[in-house]
Amino acid sequence: MNIKTTEIARYLGETVTLHGWLHHVRRLGGVNFVIVRDGYGLAQAVASETDLAPLAELTDGTVLTVTGKVVAARSAPNGAELHAPHISIITPIREAPPLTLHQRTINATLPTLLDHAVVANRHPERQAILRIVAGAMTGFRQTLQAQGFTEIQTPKLVASATEGGANVFRLGYYDSEAFLAQSPQFYKQMMVGVFERVFEVGPVFRAEPHNTTRHLSEYVSMDVEFGFIENHFDVMVVVEQVIRGILTAISHSQSSELAMLRAEMPQMAETFPNIHFRDAQQLIYELHGEDVRGEPDLSPQDERWLGAWAQAEYGSDFLFVTGYPMVKRPFYTHPDPANPEFSNSFDLLFRGTELITGGQRLHQYADYLAALDAAGLPHTPFASYLEAFRYGMPPHGGFAIGLERLVMQLLGLPNVRLAALFPRDMGRLLP
């Protein structure tokens, strides 16, 4: 019977076949372990020198099958191992890989690791990270589908660099030009007019002019938008459900990956605490003596202080900061009706770093015309977008989660590139 490495302990006493890659042959004082890596994990076979004969002159990465009898073994991966294995070669490999994959961590610089991501992603730790990336997408979708959200896929080729115009990739499009979408913002709003509640998981493109540890030129954005809200607090309720849904899904489906990576799952209060932007600045002044009151945004240091405060005060790794000043938010942001210099928007801080931005959007056609005028933007490039409001839109809002950044922060990775399969930045288009 063909089984996965992770299933081995279910077949004690039976003869099974593993297929996969030769992870390594370990020779320990006369005992040989053939370690097999498949797409799910590792398993080992205890092999005599004779059993090893088919591997003569072959090296790690060789594709093979190993058939043997399953015996419980506490120290083996997944709690069991094969005895008296028969090894059969599928694809012989004689050249050592450019990175050693059989040690606990990859012993290579980040550029080398990324240059050889095709091979490096086969390392068990890399597999585990990328499987958590997949699990996060699944948790995101499951949570939203259970609440009547409809999945959309919106165009990535767009006619104008509508959201700002900086950091946008431009390309020739037949006889004219096009841009790569920096976010599905406008399209997800339009689709609220169709389905009320929508989400999208897809690539977005940012021509980031700097190399930082937190930015990619292409990343996966998990977007949500929905209608018939009261204000941004209704959006925050869904943010919290989505975060809990993702964490639950990962805890359930990727528990061994989380254990391998020694991930600290977030501490969560009964409900995520929130604080108004203005109160947050006042708090920083009182706690740390630094007077940031009146600043239009929070600095990274401010965010760290607030994160520490939420942890101390509420035992929560998450903190919503609400009501950011309008001046720092995009033109479609809904102002706070009671205090229009502040907005009905929020950031979610996770362990003292911004993870999610969201809020309520304008929904009245006249408000859009006024907001574009106030921002000095022409109406024409927005004509299609404006049709949504011209012909009826409910109060609505939404948010976006950067998939790689979520996983970076969750796992404490030092660089967002490590949460991408094949990252893209100023200097990297390959592999």
- How far is the CA of 300 from the CAs of 104, 191, 258, 306, 354, in angstroms? 33, 34, 27, 10, 9
Q: Single out the segment in contact with a copy of itself by CB under 8 A; choices: 148-156, 285-293, 303-311, 405-413.
A: 148-156
* Side-chain-side CA neighbours of residue 353 (13 Å): 11
Based on the shown chain and the rule CB under 8 A, indicate whether residue 61 belongs to the binding site for a copy of itself. yes
Residue 106 or 306 with smaller CB distance to a copy of itself: 106
* 378 φ, ψ (degrees, to nearest 5): -70, 155
Based on the shown chain and the rule CB under 8 A, indicate whether residue 75 belongs to the binding site for a copy of itself. no
Residue 105 or 176 with smaller CB distance to a copy of itself: 176
Based on the shown chain and the rule CB under 8 A, indicate whether residue 430 belongs to the binding site for a copy of itself. yes
Tell which residue, 75, 96, 98, 78, has the closest CA to residue 37: 78
Based on the shown chain and the rule CB under 8 A, indicate whether residue 295 belongs to the binding site for a copy of itself. no
Q: Single out the segment in contact with a copy of itself by CB under 8 A; choices: 164-172, 265-273, 295-303, 324-332.
A: 164-172
Q: For residue 217, give the 3-state DSSP assignment.
A: coil
Q: Single out the segment in contact with a copy of itself by CB under 8 A; choices: 27-35, 118-126, 271-279, 315-323.
A: 118-126
Q: Single out the segment in contact with a copy of itself by CB under 8 A; choices: 141-149, 255-263, 311-319, 320-328.
A: 141-149
User: Beta-carbon neighbour count of residue 33 at 10 Å?
Assistant: 17
Contact 320, 275 (CB under 8 A): yes
Q: Contacting a copy of itself (CB under 8 A), which of 110, 228, 315, 373?
A: 228
Q: Single out the segment in contact with a copy of itself by CB under 8 A; choices: 188-196, 255-263, 314-322, 347-355.
A: 188-196
Q: Contacting a copy of itself (CB under 8 A), which of 25, 52, 108, 130?
A: 130
Residue 215 or 351 with smaller CB distance to a copy of itself: 215
Quote the tokens at residue 203: 């690539």
Subset of 377-396 contacting a copy of itself (CB under 8 A): 383-385, 387-388, 390-395
Only one residue has tokens 């009706």, namely: 337
Q: For residue 108, give the 3-state DSSP assignment.
A: coil
Contact 273, 313 (CB under 8 A): yes
Contact 232, 345 (CB under 8 A): yes
Tell which residue, 303, 410, 302, 320, has the closest CA to residue 358: 320
- Maximum Cα–Cα distance for the chain, whole Å? 82
Quote the tokens at residue 280: 């947050």
Based on the shown chain and the rule CB under 8 A, indicate whether residue 237 belongs to the binding site for a copy of itself. no
Based on the shown chain and the rule CB under 8 A, indicate whether residue 273 belongs to the binding site for a copy of itself. no
Based on the shown chain and the rule CB under 8 A, indicate whether residue 165 belongs to the binding site for a copy of itself. no
Based on the shown chain and the rule CB under 8 A, indicate whether residue 364 belongs to the binding site for a copy of itself. yes
